[in-house]
Structure formats: structure tokens, C-alpha cells
């Protein structure tokens, strides 16, 4: 289980750093720059050295830190409201954004929602955004909470900044998926189980349709780039999770194959790389990730 925990966190950071250089490139542009096989290794981006992760990892680490705070205070003082602790960590992250070294292409929705001073919830949405900034940071919720709770908390963490159901429900599904995977459930079964709490949630259909399509495509013989194109570009929550679920199912024994497929497309490559890296990292464990460290993770996690 420890290897799965580390695989999740390390996997999301490495997938994010792999996708960062191509986040704003179309697939033809990626091929022109890196060759027909697309990007295969870390590269510099935005003035940062190769292997630098983006806001996706910064915010995922904030989610993880918030969960740890929530458990500590819950045990010590009997205060139990994880989203409040996670929100505090997101606000701490917001403060780091005045330091240019920490500005890693953050999402405007996250910035504006946090700056508004209002903490969004599922019942009181802060906006109507369904950007993928909610789902790209909630994998750690699946490490902190068991199945059932993971869905609810993951959705609540995303709803802090993203008020559209397709902005926060995929985050609930991702957390639920991770919670099953970390307990050793196989991917196919975990993917099915993680859709159970989704069914019936307000506005769930769009997310459900996208994830069902991703599962079907993973069983087809269509090549990955064409299949991903059918799901979308991943700028919105349900598509980012759909692409990541597709790549994970298609490359379920191959962390690098799945993550490279998930970054070589014409969309939000760092977010799909990060989510896929988390899913396959949890499924396959830390040793499945074939790199020794991205720049900020020099300390080996083993």
C-alpha cells in the first residue's frame, strides 16, 4: 500500500512535468518539435528547467496537506470538516503565486475563485466553471479517505473553486477510483465501482457519458491519438478524467506508455498526464515509474 501511495504522488508529479512542455501545443505541433512519436522525456518549458512540475502538482500537494491537517485536527479536537482544511492550503498556495518562481501556468478559475474570498461548495457553487482545475488536483483525496467518503470529499475539494457539476463530479470519481486502487482492486473493477456514487448526483450525466465512452474506446482497436480526439481535449473536467481513464485502461501494465499517450494530444497535456500518472502510479506502484526524479523530487521517495 505504501508503494501505491508513493506511486500516486510521484506519478502525478512526473506525469505533470512530462506534459508541461506541450500543454499549449497541438498534436501536429508536438510531432514537428519532438518527432513522430511525440514527446518522450522531460523538457524545459516557460523558462523552467526540464522536469519542473506545474500548478497541477502544486495544488495536488496542497490537497494532500489539507487532508493531513483535517485528520490531525479531527483526531485531536474532534473538528471534522476536511474541505475547510484543504481550502486553507489552497489559499496558502494562492499566496505563493506572488513569487514568479512558483507561477507555473495556474488556471484562471482557481485564481479568481480563491481570490473571491468565498469558499465554493456543491450546494453553494462559487461559479459555473467546469474546467479541469478541480479534478487535476484531487487524486490525493483517494489516499486520505476510504471508498464512499473519497467521492464526497474529492467533489467537495473541487467545488471550492469549480461550481459546475462537470467541474467537481469528475474529482469525486477520481478520488473514489484512487481509493479503490490503493486497496489493491484491479483497474477495470475499480473504474466500475467509482461510477456508483456518481450515478444520481445532480448533473452527473455529462461526466457519466464521457467516462462510459472512454471505457468503450479502451476496448476498441482504435489507436490512442484518434481515441483521445474522440473524447476531447481535456480542458474541462469530464474530458480530462475521460482521457486519463482511457489511457490508464489502454496501458494498464505500462505506466510510461499510458502517461506518454496521455500527454501527446492537442489539449491540456499536463493535467491529463498528471491524472493518468496518478491512476497508473497507484495501480502499479512507485517502481513502475521509470524515472529517478523530476527536478523538485530529487529526494528519492523509496
Residues that bind Mg ion in the complex, under the rule CB under 5 A? 54-56, 270
Q: Whose Cβ is closer to Mg ion: residue 48's or residue 251's? A: 48
Handedness of CA 148, 151, 153, 156 (dihedral sign): negative
Which grid coordinates are listed for 105? 501556468
Considering the complex, what minimum distance in angstroms separates the CB of residue 273 from Mg ion?
9
Considering the complex, what minimum distance in angstroms separates the CB of residue 294 from Mg ion?
14
Considering the complex, what minimum distance in angstroms separates the CB of residue 283 from Mg ion?
22
Considering the complex, what minimum distance in angstroms separates the CB of residue 111 from Mg ion?
12
Which grid coordinates are listed for 2? 505504501
Which grid coordinates are listed for 260? 506518454
Q: Whose Cβ is closer to Mg ion: residue 57's or residue 166's? A: 57
Handedness of CA 147, 239, 66, 295 (dihedral sign): positive
Element (H, E) at 246: helix 237-250
Considering the complex, what minimum distance in angstroms separates the CB of residue 58 from Mg ion?
9
Considering the complex, what minimum distance in angstroms separates the CB of residue 76 from Mg ion?
34
Euclidean distance between CA atoms 89 and 76, whole angstroms: 19
Q: Whose Cβ is closer to Mg ion: residue 110's or residue 284's? A: 110
Q: Whose Cβ is closer to Mg ion: residue 108's or residue 128's? A: 108
Nearest residue to Mg ion, scored by beta-carbon proximity: 54
Q: Whose Cβ is closer to Mg ion: residue 56's or residue 238's? A: 56
Supply the DSSP string of 115-154, one letter for each residue.
Answer: HTT----SSS-S----BTTTGGG-TTHHHHS-TTHHHHHH
Which grid coordinates are listed for 200? 444520481
Please report, in angstroms and rounded to a whole number, the separation of the first and last CA atoms in the chain: 13
Backbone angles phi, psi at 236, to 5 degrees: -105, 160
Axis crossing angle, helix 165-181 with helix 187-194, rounded to the nearest 10: 140
Q: Whose Cβ is closer to Mg ion: residue 55's or residue 152's? A: 55
Considering the complex, what minimum distance in angstroms separates the CB of residue 164 from Mg ion?
19
Rg (CA), the chain: 17
Supply the DSSP string of 189-200, one letter for each residue.
Answer: HHHHHHTTTTTT
Counts for the chain of helices (H) and strands (E), in that order:
14, 0
Considering the complex, what minimum distance in angstroms separates the CB of residue 139 from Mg ion?
14
Euclidean distance between CA atoms 20 and 9, whole angstroms: 17
Q: Whose Cβ is closer to Mg ion: residue 217's or residue 263's? A: 263
Q: Whose Cβ is closer to Mg ion: residue 239's or residue 270's? A: 270
Amino acid at each position: 500500500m505504501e508503494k501505491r501511495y508513493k506511486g500516486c504522488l510521484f506519478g502525478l508529479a512526473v506525469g505533470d512535468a512530462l506534459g508541461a512542455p506541450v500543454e499549449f501545443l497541438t498534436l501536429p505541433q508536438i510531432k514537428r518539435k519532438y518527432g513522430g512519436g511525440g514527446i518522450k522525456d522531460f523538457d524545459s518549458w516557460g523558462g523552467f528547467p526540464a522536469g519542473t512540475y506545474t500548478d497541477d502538482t502544486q495544488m495536488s500537494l496542497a490537497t494532500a496537506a489539507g487532508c493531513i491537517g483535517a485528520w490531525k485536527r479531527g483526531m485531536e479536537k474532534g473538528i471534522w470538516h476536511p474541505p475547510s482544511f484543504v481550502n486553507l492550503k489552497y489559499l496558502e498556495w494562492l499566496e505563493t503565486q506572488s513569487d514568479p518562481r512558483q507561477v507555473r501556468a495556474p488556471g484562471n478559475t482557481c485564481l479568481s475563485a480563491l481570490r473571491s474570498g468565498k469558499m465554493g461548495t456543491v450546494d453553494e457553487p462559487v461559479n459555473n466553471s467546469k474546467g479541469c482545475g478541480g479534478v487535476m488536483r484531487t487524486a490525493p483525496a483517494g489516499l486520505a479517505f476510504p471508498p464512499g467518503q473519497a467521492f464526497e470529499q474529492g467533489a467537495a475539494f473541487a467545488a471550492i473553486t469549480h461550481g459546475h457539476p462537470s467541474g467537481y463530479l469528475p474529482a469525486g470519481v477520481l478520488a473514489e477510483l484512487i481509493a479503490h486502487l490503493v486497496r489493491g482492486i484491479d483497474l477495470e473493477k475499480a473504474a466500475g465501482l467509482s461510477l456508483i456514487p456518481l450515478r444520481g448526483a445532480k448533473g452527473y450525466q455529462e461526466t457519466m457519458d464521457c467516462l462510459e465512452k472512454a471505457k468503450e474506446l479502451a476496448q476498441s482497436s482504435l489507436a490512442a491519438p484518434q481515441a483521445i480526439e474522440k473524447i476531447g481535449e481535456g480542458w474541462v473536467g469530464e474530458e480530462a478524467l475521460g482521457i486519463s481513464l482511457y489511457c490508464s485502461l489502454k496501458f494498464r501494465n505500462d505506466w510510461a506508455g499510458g502517461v506518454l499517450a496521455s500527454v501527446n494530444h492537442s489539449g491540456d497535456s499536463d493535467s491529463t498526464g498528471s491524472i493518468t500518472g496518478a491512476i497508473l502510479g497507484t495501480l502499479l506502484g512507485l517502481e513502475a515509474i521509470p524515472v529517478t526524479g523530476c527536478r523538485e523530487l530529487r529526494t528519492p521517495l523509496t
